[in-house]
Amino acid sequence: MSTREMSIRDAIREGLREEMNRDQNVFVMGENVAGAGGVFKVTQGLLQEFGPQRVIDTPIAEEGFVGMAVGAALTGMRPVVEIMFCDFITLAMDPIINQAAHVRYMTGGQATVPLTIRTTLGAGRSAASQHSQSIHAWFCHIPGLKVVVPSSPHDAKGLIKSAIRDDNTVMFFEDKMIYDLKGPVPEEEYLLPLGQAEVKRVGEDVTVIATSRLVQEALSAADQLSESGISVEVVDPRTLLPLDKETLLKSAAKTGRVIVADGGYRSYGVTGEIASVIMEDAFYHLQAPIIRIGAADVPVPFSKPLEDATIPTAKHIVEAARRLMTEEA
């Protein structure tokens, strides 16, 4: 399969464009998505291509337009909503949780809500605590939702297409710190199923289960560690709900040493859940306690040295792996 180099931003846009061409019921709505092309330019050019009926600029009214997207999804449309920063999702929690996630179950299977909500996570831009959070874990707690956290252009495109075609509400979290990351994307059309993890690098000594930007950090840590003879396996769940437990457990059983790294707050988050899954089903394969790496449990600060101190990086993964290798079962 021939490929070309493309950024995550461009890969998502290509996925959106292909799905909009494929299905007339797909439309995009959100703040500044049309004329301005989105604050991160993911939807740039779509207005010119598909017109204002299918690329809709909304007022700044998250509860209103997310609620409307639920109503549109219930009546035959396939909306793709953009929430500029995931911090703003707090304003739209009722339509997402109480309506979108619950309505199929609550109506005994009558309703379908084929809705995709795209939003951004990630700290590192000195944007302070209301534009920098990674609160994807909140949605993993809600039955009825699906949660996607892509880490590469290839994955982002294949997953956004599957998210749009999915008949459930899919929360699609784009890491704003890796929009410019480039990688190979096939020329031909392809889809990636939701709920399928991928081993991004094969290794023998330590498993690093990482999400979004942390996958890149884990790959960089693996390069550094290989110089000291430590072989690291990097596993990317790609979707957190549903979670491909099998792939995660297989790797944990193989290496016996596990690090879980995610950009959300460390407490009560993604790392805690994944560590529990491994504890429950791979405990007797472990050589050492699981190490969790997440963002510091503080609101994301503004000033650079403070902000940097809250963000998990390759350095933390390297330290954790060295620690694991010195511990004996």
Q: Which residues in this chain contact other proteins in the complex, by CB under 8 A? A: 25, 27, 53-54, 58-59, 61, 63-77, 94-95, 98-99, 103-112, 114, 143-144, 146, 166-168
- In the complex, least distance from residue 93 CB atom to other proteins, rounded to whole angstroms: 11
Q: How many helices (H) and strands (E) would you count in the chain?
A: 12, 14
SS3 4: strand
For residues 98 and 228, which CB has a smaller minimum distance to other proteins in the complex? Answer: 98
Of the residues 19, 31, 62, 233, only one is catalytic, namely: 62
Residue 62: active-site member: yes
DSSP 8-state secondary structure symbol assigned to residue 84: S
3-state secondary structure 46-59: HHHHHCCCCEEECC
Enter the tokens of residue 249: 């457990």
For residues 76 and 229, which CB has a smaller minimum distance to other proteins in the complex? Answer: 76
Of the residues 131, 136, 154, 316, only one is catalytic, namely: 131
- In the complex, least distance from residue 69 CB atom to other proteins, rounded to whole angstroms: 6
Distance CA 169, CA 315 (A): 36
- In the complex, least distance from residue 111 CB atom to other proteins, rounded to whole angstroms: 7
Enter the tokens of residue 72: 């549109």
For residues 147 and 206, which CB has a smaller minimum distance to other proteins in the complex? Answer: 147
- In the complex, least distance from residue 15 CB atom to other proteins, rounded to whole angstroms: 21
Instruction: Mention every residue, 6+ apart, whose C-beta is less than 8 A from residue 178.
Output: 8, 122, 151, 212, 213, 216
- In the complex, least distance from residue 144 CB atom to other proteins, rounded to whole angstroms: 6
Enter the tokens of residue 204: 């023998």
CB 273 within 8 A of CB 246: no
The angle subtended at Cα 103 by Cα 101 and Cα 107, nearest 5°, is: 145
For residues 16 and 314, which CB has a smaller minimum distance to other proteins in the complex? Answer: 16
For residues 68 and 279, which CB has a smaller minimum distance to other proteins in the complex? Answer: 68
Residue 240: in which H helix or E strand, if any?
A: strand 239-241
CB 13 within 8 A of CB 43: yes
Catalytic residue list:
62, 131
